[in-house]
A and B are shown apart, each in its own frame.
Chain A
Protein backbone atom coordinates (compact mmCIF):
# COMPACT_ATOMS: atom_id res chain seq x y z
CA UNK A 1 0.00 0.00 0.00
CA UNK A 2 2.36 2.70 -1.17
CA UNK A 3 -0.29 5.22 -2.09
CA UNK A 4 0.05 8.72 -0.81
CA UNK A 5 -1.75 9.15 2.49
CA UNK A 6 -3.97 12.17 2.18
CA UNK A 7 -4.71 12.92 5.77
CA UNK A 8 -3.44 12.35 9.27
CA UNK A 9 -4.64 9.25 11.10
CA UNK A 10 -8.01 9.81 12.74
CA UNK A 11 -7.16 7.30 15.46
CA UNK A 12 -4.92 9.88 17.15
CA UNK A 13 -7.47 12.60 17.99
CA UNK A 14 -10.16 9.98 18.58
CA UNK A 15 -8.03 7.86 20.90
CA UNK A 16 -6.72 10.92 22.74
CA UNK A 17 -10.17 12.39 23.31
CA UNK A 18 -11.68 9.14 24.52
CA UNK A 19 -8.82 8.31 26.89
CA UNK A 20 -8.80 11.85 28.26
CA UNK A 21 -12.52 11.52 28.95
CA UNK A 22 -11.89 8.15 30.53
CA UNK A 23 -9.21 9.56 32.82
CA UNK A 24 -11.40 12.50 33.88
CA UNK A 25 -14.40 10.28 34.61
CA UNK A 26 -12.41 7.64 36.48
CA UNK A 27 -10.66 10.22 38.64
CA UNK A 28 -13.92 11.97 39.33
CA UNK A 29 -15.44 8.62 40.24
CA UNK A 30 -12.66 7.92 42.74
CA UNK A 31 -12.17 11.39 44.20
CA UNK A 32 -15.67 12.81 43.83
CA UNK A 33 -18.28 12.87 46.55
CA UNK A 34 -19.94 9.47 47.11
CA UNK A 35 -23.36 11.11 47.45
CA UNK A 36 -23.09 11.74 43.71
CA UNK A 37 -23.94 8.10 43.04
CA UNK A 38 -27.30 8.14 44.77
CA UNK A 39 -28.91 8.94 41.43
CA UNK A 40 -27.23 6.02 39.71
CA UNK A 41 -28.55 3.52 42.29
CA UNK A 42 -25.27 3.48 44.16
CA UNK A 43 -23.33 2.33 41.11
CA UNK A 44 -20.11 4.30 40.66
CA UNK A 45 -20.89 4.84 37.01
CA UNK A 46 -18.19 7.48 36.57
CA UNK A 47 -15.47 5.04 37.57
CA UNK A 48 -16.87 2.14 35.54
CA UNK A 49 -17.47 4.22 32.46
CA UNK A 50 -14.15 6.00 32.86
CA UNK A 51 -12.38 2.65 32.67
CA UNK A 52 -14.45 1.58 29.66
CA UNK A 53 -13.50 4.78 27.85
CA UNK A 54 -9.85 4.54 28.81
CA UNK A 55 -9.72 1.07 27.29
CA UNK A 56 -11.58 2.16 24.12
CA UNK A 57 -9.37 5.21 23.65
CA UNK A 58 -6.25 3.25 24.49
CA UNK A 59 -7.10 0.64 21.85
CA UNK A 60 -7.29 3.30 19.13
CA UNK A 61 -3.92 4.72 20.13
CA UNK A 62 -2.41 1.23 20.35
CA UNK A 63 -3.66 0.37 16.86
CA UNK A 64 -2.19 3.55 15.51
CA UNK A 65 1.26 2.97 16.94
CA UNK A 66 1.30 -0.75 16.13
CA UNK A 67 0.44 -0.04 12.49
CA UNK A 68 3.21 2.49 12.26
CA UNK A 69 5.98 0.12 13.27
Chain B
Protein backbone atom coordinates (compact mmCIF):
# COMPACT_ATOMS: atom_id res chain seq x y z
CA UNK B 1 0.00 0.00 0.00
CA UNK B 2 1.32 3.42 -0.94
CA UNK B 3 1.55 5.96 1.87
CA UNK B 4 -1.14 8.65 1.74
CA UNK B 5 1.24 11.53 2.27
CA UNK B 6 4.55 12.34 0.70
CA UNK B 7 6.78 14.45 2.86
CA UNK B 8 10.02 16.22 2.08
CA UNK B 9 13.04 17.55 3.90
CA UNK B 10 11.23 20.58 5.34
CA UNK B 11 8.58 18.32 6.89
CA UNK B 12 11.24 16.06 8.38
CA UNK B 13 13.01 19.14 9.76
CA UNK B 14 9.82 20.19 11.56
CA UNK B 15 9.10 16.72 12.93
CA UNK B 16 12.71 16.27 13.99
CA UNK B 17 12.78 19.68 15.68
CA UNK B 18 9.83 18.71 17.80
CA UNK B 19 11.37 15.42 18.90
CA UNK B 20 14.59 17.19 19.85
CA UNK B 21 12.87 19.92 21.89
CA UNK B 22 10.78 17.29 23.67
CA UNK B 23 13.85 15.36 24.71
CA UNK B 24 15.68 18.55 25.60
CA UNK B 25 12.91 19.65 27.99
CA UNK B 26 13.12 16.30 29.76
CA UNK B 27 16.89 16.50 29.97
CA UNK B 28 16.87 20.08 31.26
CA UNK B 29 14.45 19.15 34.03
CA UNK B 30 16.58 16.24 35.15
CA UNK B 31 18.65 18.25 37.63
CA UNK B 32 15.54 19.53 39.43
CA UNK B 33 14.35 16.03 40.35
CA UNK B 34 15.71 15.67 43.85
CA UNK B 35 12.82 14.24 45.84
CA UNK B 36 9.84 11.99 45.25
CA UNK B 37 7.62 15.05 45.41
CA UNK B 38 9.58 16.69 42.57
CA UNK B 39 9.29 13.62 40.41
CA UNK B 40 5.72 12.61 41.14
CA UNK B 41 4.04 15.94 41.90
CA UNK B 42 6.30 18.54 40.25
CA UNK B 43 7.06 19.81 43.74
CA UNK B 44 3.53 21.30 43.80
CA UNK B 45 4.94 24.40 42.21
CA UNK B 46 3.33 25.01 38.81
CA UNK B 47 1.12 27.98 37.87
CA UNK B 48 -2.43 27.25 36.76
CA UNK B 49 -2.03 28.19 33.10
CA UNK B 50 0.54 25.41 32.76
CA UNK B 51 -1.38 22.78 34.71
CA UNK B 52 -4.60 23.82 32.97
CA UNK B 53 -3.23 23.33 29.47
CA UNK B 54 -1.57 20.08 30.52
CA UNK B 55 -4.86 18.94 32.06
CA UNK B 56 -6.47 19.28 28.65
CA UNK B 57 -3.53 17.99 26.66
CA UNK B 58 -3.13 14.78 28.66
CA UNK B 59 -6.65 13.92 27.52
CA UNK B 60 -6.12 15.08 23.94
CA UNK B 61 -4.38 11.87 22.99
CA UNK B 62 -4.25 9.74 19.89
CA UNK B 63 -7.72 8.26 20.14
CA UNK B 64 -9.19 11.60 20.94
CA UNK B 65 -8.13 13.44 17.80
CA UNK B 66 -8.33 10.65 15.24
CA UNK B 67 -11.37 9.02 16.83
CA UNK B 68 -13.31 12.24 17.19
CA UNK B 69 -12.64 13.31 13.61
CA UNK B 70 -13.84 9.83 12.62
CA UNK B 71 -16.96 10.22 14.75
CA UNK B 72 -17.68 13.60 13.20
CA UNK B 73 -17.37 12.24 9.69
CA UNK B 74 -19.76 9.46 10.72
CA UNK B 75 -22.26 11.27 12.94
CA UNK B 76 -21.74 14.94 12.21
CA UNK B 77 -21.97 17.66 14.80
CA UNK B 78 -23.48 15.29 17.39
CA UNK B 79 -19.86 14.64 18.31
CA UNK B 80 -19.87 17.91 20.26
CA UNK B 81 -21.78 16.08 22.98
CA UNK B 82 -18.48 14.49 23.99
CA UNK B 83 -17.28 18.01 24.78
CA UNK B 84 -20.06 20.38 25.70
CA UNK B 85 -22.08 17.99 27.80
CA UNK B 86 -19.59 15.16 28.18
CA UNK B 87 -16.74 17.19 29.66
CA UNK B 88 -17.33 20.84 30.59
CA UNK B 89 -19.84 20.39 33.46
CA UNK B 90 -17.66 17.72 35.08
CA UNK B 91 -14.52 19.84 34.76
CA UNK B 92 -16.22 22.81 36.41
CA UNK B 93 -17.61 20.57 39.16
CA UNK B 94 -14.14 19.17 39.83
CA UNK B 95 -12.64 22.64 40.10
CA UNK B 96 -15.30 24.21 42.27
CA UNK B 97 -16.43 21.41 44.56
CA UNK B 98 -14.00 18.51 44.60
CA UNK B 99 -10.53 19.95 44.23
CA UNK B 100 -10.27 21.27 47.81
CA UNK B 101 -10.56 17.73 49.16
CA UNK B 102 -7.99 16.36 46.75
CA UNK B 103 -5.47 19.13 47.06
CA UNK B 104 -5.66 19.95 50.75
CA UNK B 105 -5.39 16.39 51.97
CA UNK B 106 -1.87 16.33 50.50
CA UNK B 107 -2.49 13.04 48.77
CA UNK B 108 -0.19 11.91 45.98
CA UNK B 109 -2.80 10.00 44.01
CA UNK B 110 -6.53 9.44 43.66
CA UNK B 111 -6.37 5.88 45.09
CA UNK B 112 -4.64 7.33 48.15
CA UNK B 113 -7.67 9.52 48.75
CA UNK B 114 -9.81 6.38 48.78
CA UNK B 115 -7.54 4.86 51.41
CA UNK B 116 -7.91 7.83 53.75
CA UNK B 117 -11.61 8.26 53.12
CA UNK B 118 -12.59 4.59 53.07
CA UNK B 119 -10.11 1.79 53.66
CA UNK B 120 -7.16 -0.13 52.30
CA UNK B 121 -9.18 -2.63 50.17
CA UNK B 122 -11.03 0.21 48.39
CA UNK B 123 -7.73 1.79 47.50
CA UNK B 124 -6.31 -1.53 46.36
CA UNK B 125 -9.31 -2.19 44.13
CA UNK B 126 -9.02 1.22 42.52
CA UNK B 127 -5.22 1.27 42.29
CA UNK B 128 -4.99 -2.11 40.61
CA UNK B 129 -7.83 -1.50 38.17
CA UNK B 130 -6.48 1.95 37.36
CA UNK B 131 -2.95 0.68 36.79
CA UNK B 132 -4.18 -2.02 34.40
CA UNK B 133 -6.52 0.34 32.58
CA UNK B 134 -3.89 3.04 32.18
CA UNK B 135 -1.32 0.74 30.73
CA UNK B 136 -3.92 -0.74 28.40
CA UNK B 137 -4.84 2.73 27.20
CA UNK B 138 -1.22 3.55 26.64
CA UNK B 139 -0.88 0.44 24.52
CA UNK B 140 -4.00 1.30 22.55
CA UNK B 141 -2.65 4.78 21.90
CA UNK B 142 0.60 3.41 20.60
CA UNK B 143 -1.09 0.90 18.39
CA UNK B 144 -3.39 3.55 16.95
CA UNK B 145 -0.48 5.82 16.35
CA UNK B 146 1.59 3.17 14.64
CA UNK B 147 -1.33 2.22 12.41
CA UNK B 148 -1.82 5.84 11.45
CA UNK B 149 1.82 6.45 10.67
CA UNK B 150 1.91 3.33 8.58
CA UNK B 151 -0.92 4.47 6.33
CA UNK B 152 0.24 8.08 6.41
CA UNK B 153 3.96 7.79 5.79
CA UNK B 154 4.58 4.12 5.23
CA UNK B 155 6.55 3.68 8.44
CA UNK B 156 6.40 0.14 9.81
CA UNK B 157 4.37 -0.48 12.97
CA UNK B 158 7.44 -1.50 14.91
CA UNK B 159 9.54 1.50 14.01
CA UNK B 160 6.92 4.08 15.00
CA UNK B 161 6.10 2.19 18.21
CA UNK B 162 9.75 2.08 19.16
CA UNK B 163 10.38 5.72 18.23
CA UNK B 164 7.51 7.14 20.27
CA UNK B 165 8.12 4.76 23.17
CA UNK B 166 11.78 5.73 23.32
CA UNK B 167 11.10 9.48 23.26
CA UNK B 168 8.40 9.27 25.95
CA UNK B 169 10.58 6.96 28.02
CA UNK B 170 13.52 9.36 27.92
CA UNK B 171 11.68 12.49 28.91
CA UNK B 172 9.53 10.91 31.60
CA UNK B 173 12.51 9.04 33.03
CA UNK B 174 14.47 12.28 33.38
CA UNK B 175 11.84 14.75 34.39
CA UNK B 176 8.88 12.78 35.75
CA UNK B 177 5.57 14.56 35.97
CA UNK B 178 7.11 18.00 35.36
CA UNK B 179 8.57 16.81 32.10
CA UNK B 180 5.27 15.30 31.10
CA UNK B 181 3.39 18.49 31.99
CA UNK B 182 5.85 20.83 30.28
CA UNK B 183 5.74 18.75 27.15
CA UNK B 184 1.97 18.57 27.29
CA UNK B 185 1.81 22.36 27.16
CA UNK B 186 4.11 22.40 24.11
CA UNK B 187 1.98 19.65 22.61
CA UNK B 188 -1.15 21.66 23.30
CA UNK B 189 0.08 24.48 21.05
CA UNK B 190 1.37 22.11 18.38
CA UNK B 191 -1.92 20.25 18.19
CA UNK B 192 -3.83 23.50 17.68
CA UNK B 193 -1.32 25.16 15.37
CA UNK B 194 -0.85 21.92 13.44
CA UNK B 195 -4.53 21.23 12.83
CA UNK B 196 -5.87 24.73 12.22
CA UNK B 197 -4.44 25.18 8.68
CA UNK B 198 -6.50 22.30 7.32
CA UNK B 199 -9.62 23.78 8.94
CA UNK B 200 -8.79 27.19 7.52
CA UNK B 201 -8.33 25.95 3.95
CA UNK B 202 -11.26 23.57 4.26
CA UNK B 203 -13.58 26.38 5.29
CA UNK B 204 -12.26 28.58 2.48
CA UNK B 205 -13.01 25.80 0.04
CA UNK B 206 -16.53 25.05 1.28
CA UNK B 207 -17.61 28.64 1.78
CA UNK B 208 -17.37 29.09 5.53
CA UNK B 209 -19.66 27.54 8.13
CA UNK B 210 -22.79 28.29 6.12
CA UNK B 211 -21.42 26.81 2.94
CA UNK B 212 -20.24 23.78 4.86
CA UNK B 213 -23.69 23.29 6.39
CA UNK B 214 -25.20 23.06 2.90
CA UNK B 215 -22.71 20.48 1.71
CA UNK B 216 -23.33 17.89 4.44
CA UNK B 217 -26.57 16.01 5.29
CA UNK B 218 -29.10 18.18 7.13
CA UNK B 219 -28.91 16.16 10.38
CA UNK B 220 -25.12 16.63 10.51
CA UNK B 221 -25.44 20.23 11.63
CA UNK B 222 -27.80 19.93 14.60
CA UNK B 223 -26.57 18.92 18.03
CA UNK B 224 -29.94 18.40 19.75
CA UNK B 225 -32.77 18.51 17.21
CA UNK B 226 -32.53 14.81 16.35
CA UNK B 227 -32.00 13.57 19.91
CA UNK B 228 -35.67 12.91 20.71
CA UNK B 229 -35.40 9.18 20.21
CA UNK B 230 -32.65 6.71 19.49
CA UNK B 231 -34.19 5.90 16.10
CA UNK B 232 -34.04 9.41 14.70
CA UNK B 233 -30.35 10.23 15.05
CA UNK B 234 -27.21 8.62 13.66
CA UNK B 235 -25.67 7.98 17.12
CA UNK B 236 -28.49 5.61 18.04
CA UNK B 237 -28.88 7.21 21.47
CA UNK B 238 -31.70 9.34 22.83
CA UNK B 239 -31.22 12.54 24.84
CA UNK B 240 -31.68 10.68 28.12
CA UNK B 241 -28.85 8.29 27.27
CA UNK B 242 -26.62 11.20 26.33
CA UNK B 243 -27.41 13.24 29.42
CA UNK B 244 -27.37 10.43 32.01
CA UNK B 245 -24.82 8.08 30.48
CA UNK B 246 -22.38 10.44 28.80
CA UNK B 247 -23.04 13.81 30.42
CA UNK B 248 -23.41 12.61 33.97
CA UNK B 249 -21.85 9.22 34.62
CA UNK B 250 -19.08 8.75 32.06
CA UNK B 251 -18.05 12.35 32.02
CA UNK B 252 -17.99 12.90 35.78
CA UNK B 253 -16.42 9.48 36.27
CA UNK B 254 -13.59 10.34 33.96
CA UNK B 255 -12.94 14.03 34.58
CA UNK B 256 -13.35 14.10 38.34
CA UNK B 257 -11.80 10.81 39.42
CA UNK B 258 -9.38 9.71 36.72
CA UNK B 259 -5.96 10.19 38.17
CA UNK B 260 -4.50 10.84 34.73
CA UNK B 261 -6.14 14.27 34.65
CA UNK B 262 -6.45 14.99 38.38
CA UNK B 263 -2.69 14.50 38.77
CA UNK B 264 -2.11 17.61 36.65
CA UNK B 265 -4.10 19.74 39.06
CA UNK B 266 -2.28 18.27 42.07
CA UNK B 267 0.96 19.69 40.66
CA UNK B 268 -0.36 23.27 41.07
CA UNK B 269 1.36 25.79 43.29
CA UNK B 270 -1.57 26.38 45.64
CA UNK B 271 -5.21 25.46 46.22
CA UNK B 272 -6.62 28.32 44.16
CA UNK B 273 -4.38 27.37 41.24
CA UNK B 274 -5.40 23.73 41.59
CA UNK B 275 -9.07 24.71 41.48
CA UNK B 276 -8.53 26.95 38.48
CA UNK B 277 -6.74 24.15 36.59
CA UNK B 278 -9.75 22.22 35.24
CA UNK B 279 -11.76 25.43 34.85
CA UNK B 280 -9.14 27.11 32.69
CA UNK B 281 -8.91 23.88 30.72
CA UNK B 282 -12.66 24.04 30.09
CA UNK B 283 -12.36 26.96 27.68
CA UNK B 284 -10.03 25.34 25.16
CA UNK B 285 -11.92 22.08 25.74
CA UNK B 286 -15.16 23.71 24.62
CA UNK B 287 -13.35 24.81 21.45
CA UNK B 288 -11.67 21.49 20.60
CA UNK B 289 -14.59 20.72 18.22
CA UNK B 290 -13.07 23.39 15.95
CA UNK B 291 -10.11 21.11 15.26
CA UNK B 292 -11.93 17.76 15.34
CA UNK B 293 -15.60 18.23 14.37
CA UNK B 294 -14.96 20.71 11.57
CA UNK B 295 -12.37 18.50 9.85
CA UNK B 296 -14.83 15.60 10.08
CA UNK B 297 -17.56 17.68 8.44
CA UNK B 298 -15.17 19.05 5.82
CA UNK B 299 -14.13 15.50 4.97
CA UNK B 300 -17.78 14.59 4.37
CA UNK B 301 -18.28 17.70 2.26
CA UNK B 302 -15.28 17.40 -0.02
CA UNK B 303 -14.02 13.81 -0.06
CA UNK B 304 -16.19 11.49 -2.19
CA UNK B 305 -15.31 8.35 -0.19
CA UNK B 306 -17.15 9.69 2.87
CA UNK B 307 -20.31 10.74 1.07
CA UNK B 308 -23.50 8.79 0.56
CA UNK B 309 -22.99 6.55 -2.44
CA UNK B 310 -19.24 6.52 -1.84
CA UNK B 311 -17.44 3.52 -0.42
CA UNK B 312 -19.67 1.00 1.33
CA UNK B 313 -17.87 1.16 4.65
CA UNK B 314 -15.36 3.98 4.52
CA UNK B 315 -12.39 3.97 6.88
CA UNK B 316 -13.44 6.90 9.04
CA UNK B 317 -10.27 6.81 11.06
CA UNK B 318 -8.37 7.93 7.98
CA UNK B 319 -10.54 11.04 7.49
CA UNK B 320 -8.06 13.45 9.04
CA UNK B 321 -5.09 12.15 7.05
CA UNK B 322 -7.03 12.18 3.79
CA UNK B 323 -7.80 15.83 4.44
CA UNK B 324 -4.11 16.55 5.02
CA UNK B 325 -3.33 14.83 1.73
CA UNK B 326 -6.03 16.82 -0.02
CA UNK B 327 -5.22 20.33 1.20
CA UNK B 328 -1.82 20.68 2.81
CA UNK B 329 1.37 21.51 0.93
CA UNK B 330 4.71 20.46 2.38
CA UNK B 331 5.66 22.69 5.25
CA UNK B 332 2.34 23.02 7.03
CA UNK B 333 1.97 19.32 6.29
CA UNK B 334 4.99 18.59 8.45
CA UNK B 335 3.49 20.79 11.13
CA UNK B 336 0.17 18.91 10.99
CA UNK B 337 1.96 15.57 11.31
CA UNK B 338 3.90 17.00 14.24
CA UNK B 339 0.58 18.01 15.80
CA UNK B 340 -0.66 14.44 15.55
CA UNK B 341 2.62 13.06 16.83
CA UNK B 342 2.41 15.50 19.73
CA UNK B 343 -1.10 14.37 20.59
CA UNK B 344 0.04 10.76 20.61
CA UNK B 345 2.95 11.47 22.85
CA UNK B 346 1.00 13.62 25.28
CA UNK B 347 -1.59 10.89 25.70
CA UNK B 348 1.02 8.26 26.24
CA UNK B 349 3.20 10.27 28.61
CA UNK B 350 0.10 11.15 30.61
CA UNK B 351 -0.68 7.48 31.02
CA UNK B 352 2.89 6.61 31.92
CA UNK B 353 3.25 9.29 34.61
CA UNK B 354 -0.08 8.42 36.20
CA UNK B 355 0.81 4.73 36.14
CA UNK B 356 4.18 5.58 37.71
CA UNK B 357 2.70 7.25 40.75
CA UNK B 358 -0.03 4.69 41.33
CA UNK B 359 2.34 1.79 40.93
CA UNK B 360 5.09 3.30 43.10
CA UNK B 361 2.98 4.60 45.97
CA UNK B 362 -0.29 2.70 45.90
CA UNK B 363 0.93 -0.74 44.94
CA UNK B 364 4.67 -1.07 45.48
CA UNK B 365 4.92 1.30 48.45
CA UNK B 366 1.79 -0.05 50.12
CA UNK B 367 1.96 -3.78 49.61
CA UNK B 368 5.45 -4.72 48.46
CA UNK B 369 7.97 -2.56 50.32
CA UNK B 370 6.53 -0.18 52.86
CA UNK B 371 8.24 2.71 54.67
CA UNK B 372 11.35 2.99 52.58
CA UNK B 373 13.25 6.28 52.37
CA UNK B 374 12.20 8.84 49.78
CA UNK B 375 15.20 8.21 47.50
CA UNK B 376 14.15 4.61 47.22
CA UNK B 377 10.72 5.51 45.84
CA UNK B 378 12.23 8.12 43.53
CA UNK B 379 14.40 5.39 42.06
CA UNK B 380 11.50 2.96 41.84
CA UNK B 381 9.48 5.65 40.06
CA UNK B 382 12.18 6.14 37.48
CA UNK B 383 12.48 2.45 36.74
CA UNK B 384 8.71 2.04 36.73
CA UNK B 385 8.79 4.35 33.71
CA UNK B 386 10.87 1.77 31.89
CA UNK B 387 8.62 -1.05 33.07
CA UNK B 388 5.45 0.84 32.14
CA UNK B 389 6.68 1.67 28.65
CA UNK B 390 7.67 -1.96 28.07
CA UNK B 391 4.26 -3.20 29.19
CA UNK B 392 2.48 -0.73 26.92
CA UNK B 393 4.59 -1.82 23.97
CA UNK B 394 3.39 -5.34 24.74
CA UNK B 395 -0.19 -4.11 25.00
CA UNK B 396 0.15 -2.30 21.67
CA UNK B 397 0.83 -5.59 19.96
CA UNK B 398 -2.05 -7.31 21.75
CA UNK B 399 -4.70 -4.71 20.98
CA UNK B 400 -6.32 -5.58 17.72
CA UNK B 401 -9.53 -5.68 15.72
CA UNK B 402 -12.24 -3.48 17.21
CA UNK B 403 -14.59 -1.68 14.83
CA UNK B 404 -14.20 1.76 16.27
CA UNK B 405 -11.41 2.53 18.73
CA UNK B 406 -13.51 5.13 20.46
CA UNK B 407 -16.23 2.63 21.33
CA UNK B 408 -13.63 0.37 22.87
CA UNK B 409 -12.34 3.20 25.01
CA UNK B 410 -15.85 3.95 26.23
CA UNK B 411 -16.24 0.27 27.04
CA UNK B 412 -13.13 0.10 29.20
CA UNK B 413 -14.08 3.32 30.94
CA UNK B 414 -17.55 2.20 31.73
CA UNK B 415 -16.35 -0.92 33.56
CA UNK B 416 -13.99 0.90 35.89
CA UNK B 417 -14.66 4.61 35.82
CA UNK B 418 -18.42 4.84 35.74
CA UNK B 419 -19.13 3.40 39.19
CA UNK B 420 -16.18 5.31 40.66
CA UNK B 421 -17.94 8.64 40.56
CA UNK B 422 -20.71 7.32 42.84
CA UNK B 423 -18.07 6.31 45.39
CA UNK B 424 -16.42 9.73 45.28
CA UNK B 425 -19.67 11.63 45.33
CA UNK B 426 -20.85 9.81 48.47
CA UNK B 427 -17.35 9.82 49.94
CA UNK B 428 -16.89 13.55 49.59
CA UNK B 429 -20.38 14.78 50.31
CA UNK B 430 -21.95 12.26 52.70
CA UNK B 431 -20.05 11.75 55.92
CA UNK B 432 -22.02 8.66 56.88
CA UNK B 433 -20.60 6.61 54.00
CA UNK B 434 -18.58 3.87 55.72
CA UNK B 435 -15.30 2.22 54.68
CA UNK B 436 -16.97 -1.06 53.72
CA UNK B 437 -19.82 0.78 52.08
CA UNK B 438 -17.25 2.37 49.79
CA UNK B 439 -15.59 -0.93 48.99
CA UNK B 440 -18.68 -3.04 48.30
CA UNK B 441 -20.35 -0.22 46.38
CA UNK B 442 -17.38 0.15 44.07
CA UNK B 443 -17.04 -3.58 43.53
CA UNK B 444 -20.77 -3.97 42.90
CA UNK B 445 -20.65 -1.14 40.36
CA UNK B 446 -17.81 -2.73 38.40
CA UNK B 447 -19.60 -6.10 38.46
CA UNK B 448 -22.84 -4.46 37.35
CA UNK B 449 -21.05 -2.99 34.34
CA UNK B 450 -19.55 -6.35 33.46
CA UNK B 451 -22.90 -8.16 33.87
CA UNK B 452 -24.65 -5.56 31.74
CA UNK B 453 -22.04 -5.96 29.05
CA UNK B 454 -22.43 -9.75 29.16
CA UNK B 455 -26.22 -9.53 28.79
CA UNK B 456 -25.86 -7.08 25.95
CA UNK B 457 -23.40 -9.35 24.14
CA UNK B 458 -25.66 -12.35 24.72
CA UNK B 459 -28.47 -10.27 23.23
CA UNK B 460 -30.69 -10.30 26.30
CA UNK B 461 -30.58 -6.50 26.16
CA UNK B 462 -31.09 -4.43 23.06
CA UNK B 463 -29.97 -0.96 22.11
CA UNK B 464 -30.05 0.90 18.83
CA UNK B 465 -26.25 1.17 18.77
CA UNK B 466 -23.15 0.05 20.61
CA UNK B 467 -22.64 3.57 21.88
CA UNK B 468 -26.15 3.61 23.31
CA UNK B 469 -25.38 0.35 25.13
CA UNK B 470 -22.20 1.87 26.59
CA UNK B 471 -23.97 4.98 27.83
CA UNK B 472 -26.72 3.03 29.55
CA UNK B 473 -24.22 0.53 30.95
CA UNK B 474 -22.37 3.38 32.60
CA UNK B 475 -25.59 4.65 34.08
CA UNK B 476 -26.58 1.28 35.59
CA UNK B 477 -23.09 0.72 36.98
CA UNK B 478 -23.20 4.13 38.63
CA UNK B 479 -26.65 3.53 40.09
CA UNK B 480 -25.64 0.12 41.46
CA UNK B 481 -22.57 1.61 43.14
CA UNK B 482 -24.62 4.48 44.55
CA UNK B 483 -27.34 2.25 46.03
CA UNK B 484 -25.03 -0.47 47.35
CA UNK B 485 -22.73 2.08 49.01
CA UNK B 486 -25.68 3.65 50.83
CA UNK B 487 -27.22 0.32 51.89
CA UNK B 488 -23.95 -1.19 53.13
CA UNK B 489 -23.10 2.07 54.90
CA UNK B 490 -26.30 1.86 56.92
CA UNK B 491 -25.23 -1.48 58.38
CA UNK B 492 -21.48 -1.15 58.84
CA UNK B 493 -19.22 0.71 61.21
CA UNK B 494 -18.40 4.35 60.47
CA UNK B 495 -15.00 5.96 60.55
CA UNK B 496 -14.40 8.27 63.52
CA UNK B 497 -15.11 11.84 62.38
CA UNK B 498 -11.64 13.11 63.29
CA UNK B 499 -10.12 10.77 60.69
CA UNK B 500 -12.29 12.36 58.02
CA UNK B 501 -11.13 15.92 58.61
CA UNK B 502 -10.42 17.65 55.33
CA UNK B 503 -11.70 14.71 53.29
CA UNK B 504 -15.45 15.21 53.49
CA UNK B 505 -17.69 18.18 52.84
CA UNK B 506 -18.70 19.93 56.04
CA UNK B 507 -15.85 18.46 58.07
CA UNK B 508 -13.13 20.30 56.30
CA UNK B 509 -10.91 22.97 57.62
CA UNK B 510 -10.18 24.26 54.15
CA UNK B 511 -7.93 27.26 54.29
CA UNK B 512 -7.84 29.17 51.06
CA UNK B 513 -5.62 31.93 49.88
CA UNK B 514 -7.50 35.17 49.32
CA UNK B 515 -7.58 36.13 45.69
CA UNK B 516 -9.17 38.93 43.74
CA UNK B 517 -12.64 38.48 42.26
CA UNK B 518 -11.35 37.92 38.75
CA UNK B 519 -9.13 35.03 39.77
CA UNK B 520 -11.77 33.13 41.68
CA UNK B 521 -12.58 29.63 40.35
CA UNK B 522 -16.32 30.21 40.87
CA UNK B 523 -16.28 33.26 38.60
CA UNK B 524 -14.40 31.49 35.82
CA UNK B 525 -16.52 28.38 36.26
CA UNK B 526 -19.72 30.38 35.76
CA UNK B 527 -18.32 32.06 32.66
CA UNK B 528 -17.36 28.66 31.21
CA UNK B 529 -20.85 27.27 31.86
CA UNK B 530 -22.54 30.24 30.17
CA UNK B 531 -20.13 30.02 27.24
CA UNK B 532 -20.82 26.30 26.73
CA UNK B 533 -24.56 26.80 27.10
CA UNK B 534 -24.46 29.46 24.38
CA UNK B 535 -22.57 27.10 22.07
CA UNK B 536 -25.25 24.44 22.56
CA UNK B 537 -27.99 26.89 21.66
CA UNK B 538 -26.05 28.15 18.65
CA UNK B 539 -25.75 24.67 17.14
CA UNK B 540 -29.08 23.39 18.40
Contact = CB atoms under 8 A, between A and B. Distances in A.
A and B co-occur in one complex: yes
Q: How large is the interface on B (under 10, 10 to 19, 20 to 34, 35 or more residues)?
A: 35 or more
Interface stretch (B90-98, B223-231, B325-333, B455-463): B325-333
Interface of B: 10, 13-14, 17-18, 21, 24-25, 28-29, 32, 38, 42-43, 45-46, 50, 178, 182, 185-186, 189, 193, 196-197, 200-201, 204-205, 269, 326-332, 335
Contact of A6 (B13, B43, B197): B43
Given A6-B45, A7-B29, A46 B193 contact: no
B153 to A, nearest CB: 17
Contacts of A20: 17
Given A6-B42, A28-B10, A56-B189, A39 B329 contact: yes
Contacts of B46: 7
A10 B185 contact: yes
Overall SS of chain B's interface:
helix
Contacts of B335: 21, 25, 49
B197 A39 contact: no
A14 B57 CA distance: 15
Interface string A44-63: 01100100110010000000
B201 A24 contact: no
Interface of A: 3, 5-8, 10, 13-14, 16-18, 20-21, 24-25, 28-29, 32, 36-41, 43, 45-46, 49, 52-53, 56
Contact of B21 (A7, A17, A25, A56): A17
A52 B189 CA distance: 12
Contacts of A39: 326-329
Contacts of B205: 41
A46 B461 CA distance: 53
B29 A17 contact: no
Contacts of A21: 14, 17, 193, 335
Which 9 A-B residue pairings sit nearest by Cβ, starting from the closest? A46-B331, A6-B45, A36-B329, A6-B43, A28-B331, A17-B21, A40-B201, A39-B329, A45-B332
Nearest to A35: B329
B50 A17 contact: no
B186 A14 contact: yes
A22 to B, nearest CB: 9
A52 B330 CA distance: 17
Given A24-B10, A45-B201, A13 B25 contact: yes
B50 A18 contact: no
B17 A45 contact: no
Nearest to A17: B21
A45 B197 contact: yes
Contacts of A28: 10, 330-331
A54 B18 CA distance: 16
Given A14-B185, A25-B332, A56-B193, A43 B10 contact: no
Contacts of B28: 8, 13
B46 to A, nearest CB: 8
A21 B46 CA distance: 26
A39 B102 CA distance: 50
A21 B328 CA distance: 16
B45 A7 contact: yes
24 contacts: A3-B45, A6-B32, A6-B38, A6-B42, A6-B45, A7-B29, A7-B32, A7-B178, A7-B182, A8-B29, A10-B50, A10-B186, A13-B186, A24-B331, A32-B10, A32-B331, A36-B330, A38-B329, A39-B329, A40-B328, A40-B332, A43-B204, A45-B197, A49-B197
A18 B328 CA distance: 19
Nearest to A16: B21
A14 B189 contact: yes
A22 B483 CA distance: 56
A59 to B, nearest CB: 11
Contacts of B13: 24
Contacts of A46: 329, 331-332
Contact of B327 (A5, A6, A40, A53): A40
A37 to B, nearest CB: 6
A8 B27 CA distance: 12
A8 B326 CA distance: 41
Nearest to B21: A17
A62 B381 CA distance: 36
B331 A29 contact: yes
Nearest to B331: A46
A48 to B, nearest CB: 8
B45 A24 contact: no
Given A18-B189, A49-B197, A24 B332 contact: no
Nearest to A38: B329
B193 A53 contact: yes
A39 B328 CA distance: 6
A28 B205 CA distance: 23
Given A6-B43, A7-B178, A41 B189 contact: no
